[in-house]
Chain A
Amino acid sequence: DAGVTQSPTHLIKTRGQQVTLRCSPKSGHDTVSWYQQALGQGPQFIFQYYEEEERQRGNFPDRFSGHQFPNYSSELNVNALLLGDSALYLCASSLYGDYGYTFGSGTRLTVV
């Protein structure tokens, strides 16, 4: 039973560029949440997708956007990258209405 899969594992981008990160949830899960974890910090909630809609959003600018597909997989897009966007981006899947989250191994984004 596959857990949460994220791709790519590492990414280097230049300021001003755009990036897309991908997440496939654990089998049986229908909800995907994204978190940003800066070095030495706890993860910060970006947004959550369920039924292909953004259900909740954290305190992130609209440069951060997402999408969920009919197969429950999800993408996180970040436009106009800033140096401060450098972080580990974690995807967590869950079953809507239930508790418990499974985290993926993350995508390490470096903006130079």
Chain B
Amino acid sequence: ELKVEQNPLFLSMQEGKNYTIYCNYSTTSDRLYWYRQDPGKSLESLFVLLSNGAVKQEGRLMASLDTKARLSTLHITAAVHDLSATYFCAVEMGTASKLTFGTGTRLQVTL
């Protein structure tokens, strides 16, 4: 059974600092997704990573994928308060398949 783990579960960081969220998964996958969720809200798609070595960047967020290590990272550069949210990674095996989500990382950026 596919398992997806994220760490840390909770991250409090100061504005302007850099940090990385890690996502490990247990078996070979085809795609890896990163989502953002604000409290009580739905999931906002951030990135879809399709192949080994894939790197995508949007603003202060950069995601990468290492399929050999079964590891994806979400790097936050110079954090700002607006980035406070819960971030989930999700793994998909096959096409038109289900997503298996990680436990989530709750990010709190303090002023």
Flag if A41 contacts B103 (CB, 8 Å).
yes
Q: Count residues of chain A with CB under 8 A from any CB of chain B.
A: 30
Q: Which residues of B contact A33 (CB under 8 A)?
A: 98-99
B77 located at the interface, meaning its Cβ lies under 8 Å from any Cβ of chain A in the complex: no
Given that A31-B96, A44-B101, A48-B98 are known contacts, is A99 also in contact with B42, CB under 8 Å in the complex? no
Please provide the chain B residues from 7 to 25 with a CB less than 8 Å away from any CB of chain A in the complex.
none
A94 in complex: contacting residue of B35, B88, B96, B102, CB < 8 Å: B96
B98 in complex: contacting residue of A45, A98, A100, CB < 8 Å: A45
Q: Which residues of B contact A101 (CB under 8 A)?
A: 33, 45, 99
With both beta carbons as reference points, the residue of chain B lying nearest to A57 in the complex is identified as B98
Flag if B42 contacts A105 (CB, 8 Å).
yes
Q: A residues bordering B, Cβ < 8 Å?
A: 31, 33, 35, 40-45, 48, 50, 55-56, 58, 88, 90, 92, 94, 96-106, 108
